[in-house]
Structure 1
Amino acid sequence: MDYLKMIKHTMKTLVDVHTRLLDLVKEKQDILIKGDILGLQNFVHRESLCVAEIQKIEQKRNNLIQEFLEEKGIKDPSFPLEEILKLEDDTDTKASIKYIAKQLRDLIQEITLLNENNQHLIHASLSYIQYSMGILVRKEIAIGYGPHATNSYSNLLDAKI
């Protein structure tokens, strides 16, 4: 059985699914900027389906690698891709797999960067919401006794117009 060709095909599929995930992450950024809560709920569902698909394909890839290594008599479960490729004589297949692996690494790096940016957008939105709530919601009353204990709170909702 030609495991490397099957591994190559599986890695191409991973590149395709990661490309879809990258598109989703970009879409998520637009949704976060617009503040579209319903769109975000729909997006999270689509994103989780894509991640589940990636996990399934990744498991298939790992199984193929294990079968390839067992065929070669290697029992090390953490054998790096570069070492696996050294076991193969076909230079075209090796070059192709190296290229696909680079594409996959680049996609994952870009997805990670965009997710970090999205996380900053979410954090900024939450900070703004907390600030807005602090202006609109009544502050806690200072509890105390004596002549210095007064109601020293006010907010926009308490203002007389």
Structure 2
Amino acid sequence: MKSVEPLKTVLQEMITVYEKLLEVGNEKQAALIKGDPELLLTIFPKESALIKEISHLEDRRQQEVISLQRETLSELIAEHPFADLSTYQTQLKAKLTDLEKQHELNRQLVESSLDYINSMLSLFTQKQEQPLTYSAKNYMQANTSRSFFDAKV
């Protein structure tokens, strides 16, 4: 049977890349809180490159598992209990859980920012209605002012 060492190497590389992705997620969180779009623009390419690398590593991991004539990592762990594969699996699960939490927090920050922007835009585009008043000749008139921005829908 083939050695599990190449698989362990791939799993360790995946853990390292996930750690880098968490660091980038923290940078993204700081940029979102700070409201710094230029910093966000520098973070997106880093994040994309790491995601691409993870995709490549996942393909390699699947190939290694298949080359060991198994379908899942759990099957290999059952056959090789002393190969530290379960440690790698646990670490990967922990990193993925951390990434999910980071992603959810960043999603909420983006959503909050968009809500703020939308509320500011609605304040600027809203027409200011004034109450009906009487003119000098006792006729009722509605005074409407134009909005700060004219918006066409």
Q: Classify the TM-score, shorter chain.
A: 0.7 to 0.9
Provide the secondary structure at the position in 1 that maps to 2:86: helix
1:111 counterpart = 2:78: no
Q: Whose helix fraction is larger, Structure 1's or Structure 2's?
A: 1
1:9-58 residue CA offsets vs partner (Å, 9 max, x unmatched):
10000000000000100111000001110110110111000000000011
What's the Cα RMSD here?
Answer: 2.7
Equivalent position amino acid for 1:115 in 2? H
Q: Structure 1 residue 4: deviation in Å?
A: 1.1
**Paired position in structure 1 for 2:136:** none
Q: Identity, % of aligned pairs? A: 24
**Paired position in structure 2 for 1:82:** 74
Q: Provide structure 1 residue ranges, at least 5 long, that are not aligned to the other structure.
A: 142-146
Q: Provide structure 2 residue ranges, at least 5 long, that are not aligned to the other structure.
A: 130-138
Q: How does 1:4-23 map to 2 (within 5 A)?
A: 4-23=4-23
1:92 counterpart = 2:82: yes
Equivalent position amino acid for 2:92 in 1? L
Normalising to structure 1: TM-score of the pair? 0.77
1:123 counterpart = 2:111: yes
Count of paired positions: 141
Equivalent position amino acid for 2:78 in 1? K
Q: How does 1:11-160 map to 2 (within 5 A)?
A: 11-69=11-69, 79-88=71-80, 91-93=81-83, 96-139=84-127, 150=142, 152=144, 155=147
Equivalent position amino acid for 1:17 in 2? V
Runs of 4+ in 1 over 3 A off after TM superposition: 138-141, 147-157
Higher relative CO (Cα under 8 Å, sequence separation at least 6) belongs to: 1
Q: Structure 1 residue 2: deviation in Å?
A: 3.6
CA contact (8 A) 2:65 2:73 kept: no
Normalising to structure 2: TM-score of the pair? 0.81
